[in-house]
């Protein structure tokens, strides 16, 4: 054998062996959790087929990258080996992929190149602390009732409000009606994007305009993990994910961003079919990723806290000052007050006028002038200390409240019933961690069995109640909407219904008394022509405490179109057994025409 042929043979054998080794290595690498997390691969569908949740071709370098992690890896390596320079180079588009591949494939000697756009952006947002931000719910805003989460990256901006807020949100169409909005939101019809905005914009939006308290959780990430997170955020710039209200929502996407930093956390794994923001905070806590926690009260929380520190006569003076500071400044009601009392009434009056201005609901053009006048009066008061005690930080945060799935078992003398609820909280559920007067339930189903029947007793598709007391500094409209199925006690016939109501609530004793005007459309064999349109009223009283709750109500619906009137009385008492267990005793009487029946049942509930 000639020397040339020998060299050729050895070269072929070496090349073949290397290629086989490289192919095997790349195949193994493409199956690693880190690579698949960088591509946002998740098991999806009933068959648990794994592919990327990114719905944007620009995110993939291989045409098959959404479904084939190996093809995307090969295409990425090929692109990183090209000599292209500048912002359009793959190494500039995907700095997190580049950093990782440089570490796990050092033999490829991938080069770090100059990327003007990325380098400029990175130098501006580069941070050394990452926070999860949780704007909690507000009583009169149904869209806020589940809360929301975003991230904040603190760097060298010098002030938290100047930090970068990293938000994932749906880009909705303002022209969509409510039905279209709901359908598109449930089916992924809206695009969702990761975006960076100054944190003060989010504080203004949630804290000031929407009156939502904000919790700030510092995440226990290392410096290198935060830099890796930042590089990955760049890779998602203007990249589309389909947004789903129920599962692939804001909170879920943030967990997948963190999983891309450290896949072994598997933060998103428990949320394959529903994601509730408070549940995602619990997962972070379970993984010991939460450090220091800060509380940023909303303007309404501050006003309410100050109101409770005032006597009723001082509240009256404060509200009069907010309405007309020019007249009140010479009124004996104001001039006879002590310096601290003057400071108190002026502070809350000024805060109230600023709140009205932010809400943009008060069209009074004199508001800015009144605010300035109140500031002027305050500057002349010889009291330099804090007029009020600081706002009390809640002992129980939202994620410390009961979990959001609920299973129940109940019984009376005549039946046994089982129940399950997908979401979220009702008036008799354990209160700690939730807003007083707020109720939002979805998918609440109860099945009842007696000696001869097994039947559906109750199914709420959705049930929302928003009850807030009215006083000098807040005049909310309380309201309710309910849609679902219910089997009536009076004749054991079921009805599908939609009920709407609105009214006022006021503090009375230790609870809130309320009255609703309401209307209902119902379908049942009980009614003439199977349909009834009813209108009437509900009066009730709600008392909620950390250890127990009481709710009593009476409602009467007169038939607008035939079919007879109906009346219903309810009384419920719940006792907290633990954060995630409860015992509930409920009495109910229902009457339709001359038919009447009542029941008393005892229910055990567990939240999980």
pLDDT in tens, 69-111: 999 999 999 999 987 888 999 999 999 999 999 999 998 899 8
C-alpha to C-alpha distance for 101 and 35, rounded to whole angstroms: 9
pLDDT in tens, 318-344: 999 999 999 999 999 999 999 999 999
What integer pLDDT is reported at residue 210 of this predicted model? 86
pLDDT in tens, 191-208: 999 999 999 999 999 998
pLDDT in tens, 488-536: 998 889 999 999 999 999 999 999 999 999 999 999 988 888 999 999 9
Residue pair 233/222 in contact (Cβ under 8 Å)? The answer is no
In the predicted structure, residue 247 carries a pLDDT above the cut 60: yes
Residue pair 285/399 in contact (Cβ under 8 Å)? The answer is yes
In the predicted structure, residue 1 carries a pLDDT above the cut 80: no
Omega before 424 within 30 of 0, i.e. cis: yes
Q: For 568, phi and psi rounded to 5 degrees?
A: -140, 135
What integer pLDDT is reported at residue 139 of this predicted model? 66
Mean pLDDT of 357-363: 71
Helix/strand/coil for 459: strand
Residue pair 136/251 in contact (Cβ under 8 Å)? The answer is no
Mean pLDDT of 410-437: 94
What integer pLDDT is reported at residue 158 of this predicted model? 78
Banded model confidence at residue 22, pLDDT cuts 50, 70, 90? confident
Helix (H) or strand (E) holding 255: helix 250-261
Mean pLDDT of 27-50: 93
Helix/strand/coil for 150: strand
Q: For 175, phi and psi rounded to 5 degrees?
A: -85, -10
What Rg, from alpha-carbon coordinates, does the chain have? 30
Banded model confidence at residue 361, pLDDT cuts 50, 70, 90? low
Count CB-CB contacts under 10 A for residue 36.
21
C-alpha to C-alpha distance for 285 and 15, rounded to whole angstroms: 50
DSSP state of 26: H
Residue pair 55/42 in contact (Cβ under 8 Å)? The answer is no
Banded model confidence at residue 181, pLDDT cuts 50, 70, 90? confident
pLDDT in tens, 47-68: 889 999 999 999 999 999 999 9
Q: For 242, phi and psi rounded to 5 degrees?
A: -65, 135
Mean pLDDT of 359-379: 86
C-alpha to C-alpha distance for 96 and 102, rounded to whole angstroms: 10
Residue pair 241/424 in contact (Cβ under 8 Å)? The answer is no
What integer pLDDT is reported at residue 21 of this predicted model? 52
What integer pLDDT is reported at residue 14 of this predicted model? 41
What integer pLDDT is reported at residue 20 of this predicted model? 53
Helix (H) or strand (E) holding 221: none
Banded model confidence at residue 596, pLDDT cuts 50, 70, 90? very high
C-alpha to C-alpha distance for 373 and 320, rounded to whole angstroms: 13
Those residues whose C-beta lies under 8 Å from the C-beta of residue 575, and which sit 6 or more positions away, are 547, 548, 582, 583, 584
Q: Which tokens belong to 186?
A: 């449930």
User: Mean pLDDT over all residues of the chain?
Assistant: 91
In the predicted structure, residue 477 carries a pLDDT above the cut 90: yes
Banded model confidence at residue 402, pLDDT cuts 50, 70, 90? very high
**pTM score:** 0.86
Q: Is 448 exposed, middle or buried (0-12, 13-18, 19+ CB in 10 A)?
A: buried
C-alpha to C-alpha distance for 128 and 592, rounded to whole angstroms: 65
In the predicted structure, residue 15 carries a pLDDT above the cut 50: no
In the predicted structure, residue 285 carries a pLDDT above the cut 80: yes
- Tell me what percent of the residues of the chain surpass a pLDDT of 70: 95
């Amino acid at each position: 054998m000639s020397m040339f042929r020998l060299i050729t043979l050895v070269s072929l054998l070496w090349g073949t062996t290397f290629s086989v080794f490289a192919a095997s290595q790349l195949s193994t690498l493409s199956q690693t959790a880190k690579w698949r997390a960088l591509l946002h691969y998740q098991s999806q569908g009933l068959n648990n087929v794994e592919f990327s949740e990114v719905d944007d071709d620009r995110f993939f370098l291989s045409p098959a990258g959404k479904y084939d992690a190996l093809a995307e890896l090969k295409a990425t390596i090929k692109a990183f080996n090209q000599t292209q320079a500048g912002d359009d180079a793959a190494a500039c588009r995907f700095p997190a992929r580049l950093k990782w591949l440089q570490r796990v494939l050092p033999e490829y000697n991938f080069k770090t190149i100059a990327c003007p756009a990325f380098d400029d952006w990175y130098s501006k947002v580069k941070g050394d602390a990452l926070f999860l931000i949780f704007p909690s719910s507000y009583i009169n805003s149904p869209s806020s009732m589940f809360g929301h989460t975003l991230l904040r990256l603190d760097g060298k901006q010098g002030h938290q409000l100047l930090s970068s807020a990293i938000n994932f949100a749906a880009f909705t169409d303002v022209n969509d009606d409510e039905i279209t909005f709901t359908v598109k939101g449930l089916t992924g019809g809206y695009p969702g994007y990761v975006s960076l905005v100054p944190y003060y914009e989010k504080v203004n939006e949630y804290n000031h305009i929407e009156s939502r308290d904000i919790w700030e959780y510092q995440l226990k990430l290392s410096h290198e993990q935060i830099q890796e997170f930042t590089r990955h955020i760049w890779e998602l710039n203007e990249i589309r994910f389909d947004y789903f209200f129920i599962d692939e929502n804001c909170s879920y996407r943030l967990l997948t961003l963190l999983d891309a930093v450290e896949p072994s956390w598997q933060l998103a794994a428990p949320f394959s079919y529903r994601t509730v923001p408070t549940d995602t905070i619990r997962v972070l806590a379970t993984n010991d990723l939460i450090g220091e926690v800060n509380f940023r009260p909303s303007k309404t929380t501050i006003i309410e806290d100050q109101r409770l520190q005032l006597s009723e006569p001082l509240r009256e003076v404060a509200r009069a000052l907010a309405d007309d500071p020019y007249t009140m400044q010479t009124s004996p009601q104001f001039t006879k007050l002590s310096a601290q009392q003057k400071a108190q009434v002026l502070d809350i009056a000024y805060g109230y006028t600023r709140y009205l201005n932010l809400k943009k609901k008060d069209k009074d053009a004199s508001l800015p002038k009144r605010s300035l006048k109140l500031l002027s009066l305050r500057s002349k008061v010889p009291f330099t200390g804090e007029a009020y005690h600081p706002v009390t930080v809640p002992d129980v945060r939202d994620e410390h409240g009961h979990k959001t799935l609920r299973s129940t078992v109940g019984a009376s003398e005549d039946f046994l019933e089982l129940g399950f609820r997908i979401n979220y909280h009702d008036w008799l559920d354990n209160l700690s961690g939730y807003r007083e007067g707020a109720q939002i339930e979805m998918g609440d189903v109860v099945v009842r069995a007696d000696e001869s029947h097994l039947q559906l007793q109750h199914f709420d598709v959705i049930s929302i109640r928003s009850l807030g007391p009215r006083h000098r500094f807040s005049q909310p409209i309380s309201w309710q909407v309910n849609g679902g199925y219910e089997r009536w006690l009076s004749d054991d016939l079921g009805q599908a219904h939609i009920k709407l109501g609105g009214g006022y609530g006021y503090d009375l004793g230790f609870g809130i008394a309320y009255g609703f005007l309401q209307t209902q459309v119902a379908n049942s064999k009980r009614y003439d022509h199977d349909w009834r349109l009813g209108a009437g009223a509900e009066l009730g009283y709600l008392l909620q405490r950390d250890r127990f709750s009481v709710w009593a109500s009476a409602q009467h619906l007169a038939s607008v179109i035939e079919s007879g009137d109906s009346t219903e009385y309810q009384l419920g008492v719940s006792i907290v057994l633990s954060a995630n267990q409860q015992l509930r005793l409920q009495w109910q009487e229902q009457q339709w025409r001359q038919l009447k029946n009542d029941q008393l049942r005892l229910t055990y509930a567990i939240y999980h």
